[in-house]
Structure 1
Amino acid sequence: MKRLIVGCLILLLAQIGLLAATRLIDRTGGTQSGKGSLLAFKAADIDEVLLEDGEGHHLALKRDKDRWLLPEAGSFPADSARVQDLIDRLAAMQRGWPEATTAEAATRFKVAPDRYVRKLNLLKNGTAQAIVYFGTSPGLRKMYLRGDNDPEIQSLTLSAHDLELKLDSWIDTKIVQLKPERIKRIELPGLLLERGQEGLQPADLKPDEEVVKDRRDALVNRLAKLTVTGLLGTEVKPEYGLQTPVLKCSVELDHGEIVEYVFGQPQKLAKPAGKDAAPAPLTDLSFVLKVSNQGQVFRVDSWQVDELKKAVRSSLVRAKTPAPAASAAPLPVPAGQPPASQAK
C-alpha cells in the first residue's frame, strides 16, 4: 500500500513539474505550446506597416516589390531585412499559455485599444490583415502583446527599439556603400589611389616603394563601407558647414561613374535661451555628408570622417626591403688538394 502511495505521489510531482516547465517555455518567447497561430495573416501578403504610439506619433512603411520604403521621407529606402524580420516573427508566433485574459489586465498591461505602448497595423492593399497592441515589459527584451479582438495576452521576445517610431531607426544605413572591387580611383586631399595590377595604389608610387596592403585595404574599406546614421532632408542648409567642408573626396567606379563626397562640420549653435528652448539638433559627435548620387543629406558618425581625414601617403607606403644577397659560390678545389675544411 505504501509503495502504491509513493508511486502515485511521484507521478503527481512529475506531472506538476512537466506542467510548470511547459508554461515556463511558453513565457520565454521561444517554442510555444502549439495551439495555433496567434495572428491569422500571411507574411507574404503584407505590403504596408503602420506603427503608432498612444501620443499621436506614427511611422509608415510601404513595400515596393522586394524592398521597403519610408513614405514620410520621400520614399527613402528602409532597412528591408529588419522590417521583414518583424513581420515574419509575428506571422510565425504560435498561441501559447496566456499571461492574462481579462479586460482589466489588458488595460493594466497597456495592450488595450485605448491604452497601449505601440499599435501595429499590418495591411494588404489598404485592408488590415492584423492589428497588434504592444504593452509593458515583463522582463529583459520582452513585451506583452495582444491581437485585436483577442482576449488572450501573450509575451514575446522583443524590445522597445524593435518598435521605434523615429525615421532614422528604420533607414537603410548602408545606402551609400560601394563594392571595393569596383573602385578604380580614389582622390583624397594629398593622396591619389589608382587601380593597377596590384590593386589600388598611390599614383606616384616609386620603383623602390611598396604599398602597405593592410593599411591600404583599411582606408579603402572605410570609404567604401560608410554608414549613415540619420536623414537631414534634401535642403543643404548653411549651418551644415558644407560650403566650407572639412573633407572632400571622390571615387571613380569601373564603369566611369564618379561619386563625390562632401563632409561638413555643423556649426555650434548658441545655447538657446529659456528653459523650454529646443536643444541643438546636431552634436560634436556627428558630421554632415552630401553624396553626389543621393538626394538626401545625411548625418554620419564623426569617427568615420576622422579616419578619412588622417589618410596620408606616408602611412600607406614604405621602402622595399632589399632582397637578401646571394651567398658566394665556393671556389673550385684543385685536383689532388683536400678541401679547406680538411686542411691542417
Structure 2
Amino acid sequence: MNRAITLLMIVLIVQVIAAVTLTQSQQHFDTFEANQPLLSATISDADTLRISVADEDTEAAQTEFVLNKNNGSWQIANRDGFPADNAQVQRLIEKLIHLKKSWPVATSAAAAKRFKTDAGNYQKKIVLARGEQTLATLYIGTSPGFKKVHARVEGDSNIYAIEFSTYEASNKANRWLDRSQLTINRDEISQVELPTFTLKRVSDEDENALTISDLKENESIESAQLEQLQQLLSQLAKINFTDVIGKKIANVAVGEPAFGYTVHLKSGQQIRYDFFSISGKKDYQLITSADDYLFTVDAGTVEKLQQSSRDTFISTKIAPVTATNVEQPDTGQTSALMAPENSADIPPSDADSDAGLERQTTKPGNP
C-alpha cells in the first residue's frame, strides 16, 4: 500500500514539473509572433554594410568586406572606393528588409553554436549601420534545406530557418563591382585607332556606321565580316574586366604595353587603353586614361583583341583576266599575228622560189 502511494506521488510530481515546464515554454513563445519582420525597417537608412566570414578552423573573422554609401552611391572600401553595383546592393537590403520570422527551431546557446549562428562561430555575419550606429547584426549559419539558412539576430536567442542564399551576401569584392564602369556608348564613338587599322564613323544616325577607313576600290566588307566587325566594336566599347586592383597611382603597371588602342569620341575626348602582361600571371592589367583605377582583364579577352587585323574584316576583289590587261612576255621574236611593215624585207623561202620559177616557165595553153 505504501509502495503504491509512493509511486503515485512520484507520478504526480513528474506531471507537475512537466506542466510548469510547458507553461514556461508557452509563456516564452507567447511573446513570439510568426511572419513578423526579422529585422528593423530602419536598415533601409543604412550607409554602411559589412559582411564577414568566420574561419572554420580558428573561428576568427576574416577581413571584412565593406560597402559605404557616399552621395547616394555605394562604393567598395576594399577597392579604394571603386563604384559598386548599386542595384545589387539595394537588392540585398530589400531582401533583408522583407525577411520574416518563422517558428524558432531552437533558442539555446548550444544550438546557436551547433547551427553556426553564434557570435564566435558563424558562416557569415551581416552588419548594417548608419554612421557610428549599428542598425542590425544578422548571423547566417548552416542550411536546413534548399535556399534556406539558419539565422539569428544579435540580441535575440531565437534561431530561425529563413529563405536566403549565402551567395546573395558574398564577401568577395569582385562580386560587387559596377561592371558598366568601362562602358562607352557606341553612338558617341567617332573613331577607333587599332595597331593595324582604323575604324571611322561614316554616319551619325547609325551606331553600326563605324567601318574600316581607307578602303581601296577592290576592297569591300561582306555581311559576315560586318557582323564580326560589330562584335569587335562591342568588345572595344565595353571592356569586361575581372577585378579592380586599386588606384593606378599606387599600383601602376610597369614596362611597355602588350596591346593598346585609342577611342575618339564625338565630344573630342580621346580615351587610351593599354594592356600590360604581368610575369607569372594569366590576367592582363589595364590602364585607361578615362579612369583612376588599375583593372585586371582575362587573358582570353585581350588575346582576342590582339588577333584582330585589317585582313580579317575585308574581302579583296580580283580583276578579271583579259587580253588588254595581260602583259606579253618579251621573247625577242616577232609575233606571228603581227604583219611586218614591209613584206619585201622578208626573204622568200625555197618553196616560194620554186613556185615562182614554175610560173615563169609555164606558158598559157600548155598542159
2:273 to 261, 264, 284: 261
1:91 to 86, 97, 101: 97
- Counterparts of residues 238-277 of structure 1 (less than 5 Å): 240=253, 242-268=254-280
Answer yes or no: is 1:220 the counterpart of 2:230.
Answer: no
Q: Extract structure 1 runs of 4+ deviating beyond 4 A.
A: 235-240, 319-322
Answer yes or no: is 1:289 the counterpart of 2:286.
Answer: yes
Query: Residue in 2 aligned with 1:48?
Result: 48
Query: Residue in 2 aligned with 1:206?
Result: 216
Q: TM-score, normalised by structure 2?
A: 0.68
Q: Is the contact made by 1:173 and 1:227 (CA closer than 8 Å) also made in structure 2?
A: yes
- Counterparts of residues 60-99 of structure 1 (less than 5 Å): 60-99=66-105
Amino acid at match of 2:278: P
Q: Is the contact made by 1:142 and 1:155 (CA closer than 8 Å) also made in structure 2?
A: yes
Deviations 1:172-219 (A, max 9, x none): 233111112211111111010011127101111234443332111100
- Counterparts of residues 32-43 of structure 1 (less than 5 Å): 35-42=35-42
Identity of aligned residues (%): 28
Give secondary structure in 2 for the equivalent of 1:174.
helix
Q: Is the contact made by 1:41 and 1:130 (CA closer than 8 Å) also made in structure 2?
A: no
Higher helix share: 2
1:187 to 190, 193, 204: 193
Q: Is the contact made by 2:80 and 2:246 (CA closer than 8 Å) also made in structure 1?
A: no
Amino acid at match of 2:191: R
Q: Bigger shift: 289-298 or 166-175?
A: 166-175
Structure ID, larger Rg: 2
Q: Residue 239 of structure 1: CA displacement?
A: 9.8
**C-alpha distance 321-68 of structure 1, shift in aligned 2 (>3 A):** farther
* Structure 2: gaps of 5 or more residues: 1-32, 55-59, 320-367
What's the Cα RMSD here?
Answer: 2.6
- Inter-partner Cα distance in structure 1 for 2:71 and 2:235: 31
Amino acid at match of 1:53: V
- Inter-partner Cα distance in structure 2 for 1:288 and 1:192: 24
Q: Is the contact made by 2:43 and 2:136 (CA closer than 8 Å) also made in structure 1?
A: no
Aligned length: 274
Q: Is the contact made by 2:47 and 2:129 (CA closer than 8 Å) also made in structure 1?
A: yes
Q: TM-score, normalised by structure 1?
A: 0.72
- Inter-partner Cα distance in structure 2 for 1:321 and 1:146: 76
* Structure 1: gaps of 5 or more residues: 1-32, 269-282, 323-344
Q: Is the contact made by 1:60 and 1:72 (CA closer than 8 Å) also made in structure 2?
A: yes
- Inter-partner Cα distance in structure 2 for 1:238 and 1:147: 40
**C-alpha distance 209-150 of structure 1, shift in aligned 2 (>3 A):** same
Q: Is the contact made by 1:289 and 1:300 (CA closer than 8 Å) also made in structure 2?
A: yes
- Inter-partner Cα distance in structure 2 for 1:115 and 1:87: 23
Amino acid at match of 1:46: A
**C-alpha distance 157-229 of structure 1, shift in aligned 2 (>3 A):** farther
- Inter-partner Cα distance in structure 2 for 1:236 and 1:125: 29
Q: Residue 113 of structure 1: CA displacement?
A: 2.0
